[in-house]
Amino acid sequence: MSMEYIEKYRDGRHKCWKDLWIVRPIFVTLKLMAKTTVHRPITVLYPYEALWNPDNYRGRPGLDFNKCLGCGMCAKYCPCSAIILVDTPDDAGKTVSRPQINMGRCSFCAYCAEYCPVDAMTVTPIVELAEYTRADLIYGPRRLAYENTTEGMKVRNEVTLYSDFQNGKGEIRQSFFGLDRPELDEKKCISCKKCQKVCPTGAITMVEHGTNAKGKPILWPEVSADKCVSCENCVSACPKSALHLKEVC
Amino acid sequence: MAYTSIIDWITGVYSQHGWADPIQANPYYPFGDAYNLPYDLGMKLWNIIGGAIAWLLDLLFPGNDVSTWLVCDMTNNIFALVLFMVLVFAVVFVACLISLWEERKVLGRGMDRRGTMIGMWGFLQCVADGLKTFMKDNVFSKKVDGMTYWWTVALIIGTSVLIDCMVPLSPRWFVVNYDAGLLIIMGLYALAPFFILVSGWSQNNKYSLIGGIRAAEMMISYEVPLLIIIATAALLAGSLNIGDIVMAQTKHFWYVIPMFVGFVTFMICATAESERAPFDLAEAESELVEGWQTEYGGMKWGLVMLADYLRGACSCGIIVLLFFGGWNLPFMEWTYFLGDGIASFHQNFMWWFPAPELTFLLKAWLIFFVMIAIRLGTGRVRTDSILNLGWKVFMPLSILNLVIVLIFKLFIGGVF
Amino acid sequence: MTDEKKTQIPDAQAIAEGAEVTKEMVQEYTSQNMDMDKMWITMGPQHPFSHGLWTLKIQADGEIVTDADPIVGYLHRGWEKEAENRTYPKIIPMADRLCYASSMMYTHLYCMTCEKALGIEIPEKTKYIRVMADEINRLQSHLMWLAAVGTDLGNFTAFLWASREREFWMDMNVRLCGARMTTNYPRIGGVRNDVFDIDLDMNDEEKSRFMRDIVRCCDHFDKALWDIIALIDNNSTFISRMVGTGIITREQCANLGITGPAMRGTGVDFDVRRDDPYDGYDLVDFDVPVLSAGDSYARYMIRVEEMFQATRIIRQCVDKIRSLGRSAPYRLKVPSRIPAGKTYCRIEDCRGEAAMYLVSDGTDRPYRLKVRSAIFVNVSSSRDLLMGCRIADVPVIMAMIDMCLGETDR
């Protein structure tokens, strides 16, 4: 019978209502009582023991400070706006921009880890985050560090192109960050080099394309496809909206 | 008597000639010719404590009258009575805490969890909970009807403590030894519904009101089969005296054999009477928050809870007395401890060992285990079906039980 | 009694302006307006029976309920407005929070709506993974409901046993996507991660531990659920409270818009999974339980049978995913902007028919995203469900709605 349960109780239900039938449930519970008296109950004594969690458990985010590019993808994708980029001195004393997370707002969705192009942001199994003040809940870039990062804590973001999928080449998986590239509308560009300044990976080089009427060089950004992580910083920084992200599908 | 040394007072209690006969030597003995262990213990305790105080006072102010007063017969008896009450209540209280602990552990294991875990396999959790309720703020609503609100809860708790103390643990461990002992217990038991009803009304809360009405209607209807079965047992034993009922069972057989129907009925009715699951509809949490206890917080709630467990323990005690041979084992009396005469009491070295009392309590805890098992496996019964059950099932069943017993008595005779 | 005859007591403002209130006026007003034999009882918003923040006002004549009035909205967070200010991927974690018990369903629904708006077809493996994840979610939601039934009926054992079984499925959720409840697993155009990616140290797909363990969980659960329902179905204290209470008919069901197990309990043979299949549901084999009694017990039985069917679906999905293998695509790259248009999409939620209506305007944010919550409709039928029952039945009947305030108030 495909619906074993319903077929069993469909007709017999009024019968067991009439007699005072509580013997079976009491027997079932006492059986379990005997079992749990001999063996241990299934409960976990939390402060002394803890549940085993797999590597991909989404606790608070962890950050590899030196791996991070400071591209701001995590801040951009954070649904709770918990992440902001702050200027921090790195090991060499140079000021770099790194994410800072307000754990009071974090929703543990792991978007920051998923959309990190270099897997600098990972998930960690840390969930005991209680603090006495709200200020203590703000995790700076150094505090976010987590030593025991394993491969399983990195969230991969592999996609298949829809065109590939439709052409029967569904096996091809590519990194999400290797597909979309910024494209220049050359007429709008004013050669201000802002895109070059904001690019976290140094993928943009300003290439000279002759001179304008005033004799100044016309510089157009050229994006190196290998270095680009499609973070759209240049797009948002462009004062004339000359850049836009060309989406590959 | 001379107050030379405290050793005199300790040895005065236990002289070379053995223990002084507690009844013959005491002109103001309050229990007639029945030996009472807690009273005796209280007397001996006071002999030591009071004697020590008197000796100390005499040492400081030789020849004062207070010392003489502290150890005169009258004073001895008064303080022995106080200690007797404390002792009886302490035993009942600890027994109740143990049944509470038993419930929490058994429920926990049956539900695949651990139950309480703090100290002594979780027993100290009950103590900790009690202490916690002591520390709570005494919160009550402004709009309660003050007098009834306070008095009813005090009376509910008071009667519950009283009935549980009145259940005798053995022929030597009792508070009063009336011929109608069971009836007195049941009479006090039956007072609670009125207090609960008034208390539910006085709290000015709709949940409490409904809870109070439910408790009253349920307890009143379940008292009838209870009393019928008690009367049946008395009919079998030929007496309402608890000691006689137990002795009749020891001589022949436990009354659970002829009155099995009555036992099942009594068990369920007693569960309902002490408002335990599945008949806890007066404090049905899912619809009535806490029922008639809603507005009682802190220590009041703690004491109401304690009263609930005292009533449960009392129900178990009555079941043990009526159906399971009380403090005696089948075909065996505790003659070594109870003695067949008063004079032989102190001849035994182990006279103080509470073997019959422990037998009784162990039986009661076993019965309580059955109650817990019922609670483990059942949900809450609805109000109308509870009343239906009470009047249409348990009432006829108790009558049927009476008929069976009458048939036994008429046609089999002999042992009955 | 007509309105003109009724005495009006001046309100606070009028009193402040000098209006007089006499004792006679108050007495007259009271005698006209108070039904002394009937009592309004407000249950909630903080009440053991209301699983969440909502209020049920019932009018009781003694123990009989004569009227009921549900009040929801305490948990209103402006979800739909909030969604208008977020890019499409950012709404997925929000959709998790619609209902804490069926987060996977709502995330799935949202992603499906977006895919429909984009006009893309998702890979087959994704369909099976989503169906499997949905059924895990249905199991854990139904188990939580079963636990709540236990406490509502005054038995804590059923609560803990059902919670215990739920933990296994929670663990499966953790293995699958890293979180117990707010799963955030489906993505527009696929799912977050491949099921084979979970156990990285065992790259052999034949021995993938997640796939192995989920089948083990199914095997264990099929046995354990029989134990739990032995506690309830063979128990007169449970059955006597469920049979014959909260009866609704087919006609009422249609008029009130009730969906889900409550609808199938009245004999309406309709299940979106079967009759309007989405994703992989047309590719798996399962039965839809239908009973005609229309009472609480019918709803209970249907939910329990749905749990058995869920393990059946999970097993089929696992087989299919295994046969598709590791290399099959699981996540498509989708454009961040959805072309302008209107899309409606519905799924069979654990509690009924959930739907989303998306109005997109060509940007990367929705113009409007409307959520149709099954419980919001179901709970508005509580007057018809509760009429004539007893106060003691209220938690039982309401437990069969399986209240979840997150999606009701949005």
Taking an 8 Å cut-off on Cβ atoms, the answer to whether B378 and A41 are in contact is no
C329 touches chain A (CB under 8 A): yes
Taking an 8 Å cut-off on Cβ atoms, the answer to whether A108 and C182 are in contact is yes
Helix (H, G, I), strand (E, B) or coil at B15: strand
Residue B4: pLDDT above 80? no
Beta bridge partners of C57: C42, C69
Report the gap between the CA of C62 and the closest CA in chain B (Å).
8
pLDDT of residue A39: 86
Whether the CB-CB separation of B373 and A30 falls below 8 Å is answered with yes
pLDDT in tens, C35-58: 567 788 888 788 888 888 888 888
pLDDT in tens, B142-161: 888 888 888 888 888 898 88
* Residue C359 confidence class, pLDDT cut points 50, 70, 90: very high
Considering only CB atoms, A29 lies closest to which of C94, C157, C164, namely: C157
State mean pLDDT over C384-400.
86
Considering only CB atoms, B379 lies closest to which of C41, C43, C241, namely: C241
CA torsion, ordered B146, B148, B154, B158, to nearest 10 deg: 170
Please report which helix (H) or strand (E) contains residue B128, including its range. helix B124-135
Considering only CB atoms, C164 lies closest to which of B112, B379, B383, namely: B112
Rounded Cα distance, C140 and C170, in Å: 7
Examine residue B360 and state whether it is found in any structural domain, yes or no. yes
Contacts C152 to B, Cβ<8 Å? 286
Residue C149 CA, distance from chain mean position: 15
Looking at the structure, do residues B314 and B409 belong to the same domain, yes or no?
yes
State mean pLDDT over A121-149.
88
Rounded Cα distance, C126 and C110, in Å: 15
Kindly report the number of other CB atoms within 10 A of residue A87's CB atom.
10
A13 touches chain C (CB under 8 A): yes
* Residue B163 confidence class, pLDDT cut points 50, 70, 90: confident
Looking at the structure, do residues B81 and B150 belong to the same domain, yes or no?
no
Looking at the structure, do residues B189 and B80 belong to the same domain, yes or no?
no
The runs of H, that is alpha helices, within C184-327 are: 209-233, 236-242, 250-256, 261-264, 272-275, 296-324
Residue C372: pLDDT above 60? yes
B188 touches chain A (CB under 8 A): no
Examine residue B283 and state whether it is found in any structural domain, yes or no. yes
DSSP string covering B213-279: HHHHHHHHHHHHHHHHHHHHHHHHHT-S-HHHHHHHHHHS--TTTTTHHHHHHHHHHHHHHTT-TTS
Residue C386: pLDDT above 60? yes
Identify the residue with better confidence: C211 or B103: B103
The runs of H, that is alpha helices, within C285-404 are: 296-324, 374-379, 382-386, 394-399
Q: Which of A126, A153, A158 to mutate to test the interface with C (most CBs of C within 10 A)?
A: A158
Taking an 8 Å cut-off on Cβ atoms, the answer to whether A170 and C287 are in contact is no
Contacts A31 to B, Cβ<8 Å? none
Q: Which amino acid does the sequence have at C113? A: T
Taking an 8 Å cut-off on Cβ atoms, the answer to whether C239 and A13 are in contact is yes
Neighbours of chain C (3+ CB pairs under 8 A): A, B
pLDDT of residue B343: 45
B379 touches chain A (CB under 8 A): no
Contacts B112 to A, Cβ<8 Å? 32, 36, 41-43
pLDDT of residue A218: 80
pLDDT in tens, C243-278: 888 888 888 888 888 898 888 888 888 888 888 888
* Residue C195 confidence class, pLDDT cut points 50, 70, 90: confident
Percent of chain B with pLDDT over 90: 6
Size of interface A-C (CB pairs under 8 A): 150
DSSP string covering C169-192: HHHHHHHHHS-SS----EETTEES
pLDDT of residue C35: 59
And the tokens for C213?
């363990």
Looking at the structure, do residues B48 and B169 belong to the same domain, yes or no?
no
pLDDT in tens, C153-186: 888 888 999 999 999 998 888 888 888 888 888 9
Q: At CB < 8 Å, which residues of chain A contact B?
A: 20, 22, 25-30, 32-33, 36-37, 41-43, 45
Contacts B377 to A, Cβ<8 Å? 22, 25-29
pLDDT of residue B26: 73
Percent of chain A with pLDDT over 90: 2
State mean pLDDT over C306-311.
90
Nearest CA in chain B to A29: B110
Beta bridge partners of A88: A96
pLDDT of residue B187: 84
Contacts A16 to C, Cβ<8 Å? 233-234, 236, 239
Report the gap between the CA of C306 and the closest CA in chain A (Å).
9
Looking at the structure, do residues B68 and B163 belong to the same domain, yes or no?
no
C164 touches chain B (CB under 8 A): yes
Taking an 8 Å cut-off on Cβ atoms, the answer to whether B110 and A33 are in contact is yes
Contacts A38 to B, Cβ<8 Å? none
Examine residue B99 and state whether it is found in any structural domain, yes or no. no
Contacts C232 to B, Cβ<8 Å? 379
Q: Mean pLDDT of all residues in chain C? A: 85
Report the gap between the CA of C233 and the closest CA in chain B (Å).
11
Residue C268 CA, distance from chain mean position: 19
Give the residue carrying structure tokens 């609480």: C296
Report the gap between the CA of A87 and the closest CA in chain C (Å).
26
Looking at the structure, do residues B223 and B332 belong to the same domain, yes or no?
yes
C93 touches chain A (CB under 8 A): yes
Report the gap between the CA of A39 and the closest CA in chain B (Å).
10
Identify the residue with better confidence: B253 or A136: A136
pLDDT of residue B14: 52
Percent of chain C with pLDDT over 70: 93
Beta bridge partners of A207: A220
Considering only CB atoms, B376 lies closest to which of A29, A36, A45, namely: A29
Examine residue B384 and state whether it is found in any structural domain, yes or no. yes
pLDDT of residue B341: 47
Host domain of residue B162: 136-415
B113 touches chain A (CB under 8 A): yes
Percent of chain C with pLDDT over 90: 12
And the tokens for A96?
């770099």
Distances, alpha carbon B13 to alpha carbons B6, B22, B36, C90, C320, in Å: 11, 10, 17, 86, 88
Looking at the structure, do residues B141 and B79 belong to the same domain, yes or no?
no
Nearest CA in chain A to B117: A45
C224 touches chain A (CB under 8 A): no
pLDDT of residue C343: 92
Examine residue B152 and state whether it is found in any structural domain, yes or no. yes
pLDDT of residue B367: 92
Looking at the structure, do residues B356 and B209 belong to the same domain, yes or no?
yes
Looking at the structure, do residues B150 and B59 belong to the same domain, yes or no?
no
Nearest CA in chain A to C293: A10
Examine residue B194 and state whether it is found in any structural domain, yes or no. yes
Helix (H, G, I), strand (E, B) or coil at C270: coil
Sign of torsion over alpha carbons A39, A41, A43, A46: negative
Rounded Cα distance, C188 and C181, in Å: 19
Each as own residue / partner, the long-range contacts of residues B190-193 (CB below 8 Å, 24 or more positions apart, any chain) are: B190/B219, B190/B223, B191/B155, B191/B159, B192/B156, B192/B159, B192/B160, B192/B219, B192/B311, B193/B219, B193/B220
pLDDT of residue B413: 62
Closest CA to B242 of B168, B294, B134, B346: B168
Contacts C391 to B, Cβ<8 Å? 210, 287-288
C157 touches chain B (CB under 8 A): yes
Whether the CB-CB separation of C14 and C20 falls below 8 Å is answered with no
Examine residue B100 and state whether it is found in any structural domain, yes or no. no
Sign of torsion over alpha carbons C364, C367, C372, C376: positive
Residue A10: pLDDT above 60? yes
Helix (H, G, I), strand (E, B) or coil at B368: helix
Report the gap between the CA of C13 and the closest CA in chain A (Å).
43
* Residue B366 confidence class, pLDDT cut points 50, 70, 90: very high
pLDDT of residue B340: 53
Using DSSP bridges, classify how beta strands A158-161 and C332-333 pair: parallel, antiparallel or unpaired. parallel
Q: Which of B113, B289, B380 to mutate to test the interface with C (most CBs of C within 10 A)?
A: B380
pLDDT of residue A12: 54
Q: Which of residues 67-106 of B touch A (CB under 8 A)?
A: 106
Kindly report the number of other CB atoms within 10 A of residue C292's CB atom.
13
Examine residue B127 and state whether it is found in any structural domain, yes or no. no
Looking at the structure, do residues B30 and B176 belong to the same domain, yes or no?
no
Whether the CB-CB separation of C233 and C239 falls below 8 Å is answered with yes
Q: Where are the beta strands (DSSP E) in B277-410?
A: none
State mean pLDDT over C283-288.
88
State mean pLDDT over B309-338.
82
Report the gap between the CA of C75 and the closest CA in chain B (Å).
21
Q: Is the peptide bond before B278 cis (omega within 30 degrees of 0)?
A: yes
B285 touches chain C (CB under 8 A): yes
B179-188, B398-407, C190-199, C362-371: segment of lowest average pLDDT: C190-199
Contacts C151 to B, Cβ<8 Å? 285-286
Neighbours of chain B (3+ CB pairs under 8 A): A, C
Rounded Cα distance, C336 and C403, in Å: 35
B122 touches chain A (CB under 8 A): no
Closest CA to B19 of B358, B342, B355, B333: B342
* Structure ipTM: 0.86
Whether the CB-CB separation of A239 and A192 falls below 8 Å is answered with yes
State mean pLDDT over B15-39.
71
Contacts A170 to C, Cβ<8 Å? 123, 327-329
Looking at the structure, do residues B177 and B76 belong to the same domain, yes or no?
no
pLDDT of residue C1: 44
Rounded Cα distance, A158 and A154, in Å: 12
Please report which helix (H) or strand (E) contains residue C30, including its range. helix C23-33
Report the gap between the CA of B229 and the closest CA in chain A (Å).
20
State mean pLDDT over B66-75.
80
Helix (H, G, I), strand (E, B) or coil at B377: helix
A177 touches chain C (CB under 8 A): no
And the tokens for B293?
């206890």
pLDDT in tens, A41-75: 888 888 888 888 888 888 889 898 888 888 888 88
Q: How many domains does chain B have?
A: 2
Contacts B110 to A, Cβ<8 Å? 29-30, 32-33, 36
Taking an 8 Å cut-off on Cβ atoms, the answer to whether A41 and B112 are in contact is yes
Residue B170: pLDDT above 60? yes
Whether the CB-CB separation of B167 and B319 falls below 8 Å is answered with no
Nearest CA in chain B to C162: B111
State mean pLDDT over B250-268.
85
Taking an 8 Å cut-off on Cβ atoms, the answer to whether A9 and C301 are in contact is yes
Beta bridge partners of A100: A84
Looking at the structure, do residues B146 and B259 belong to the same domain, yes or no?
yes
Which residue ranges form the domains of chain C, and what is each CATH number? 1-34 (no CATH), 78-409 (1.10.645.10)
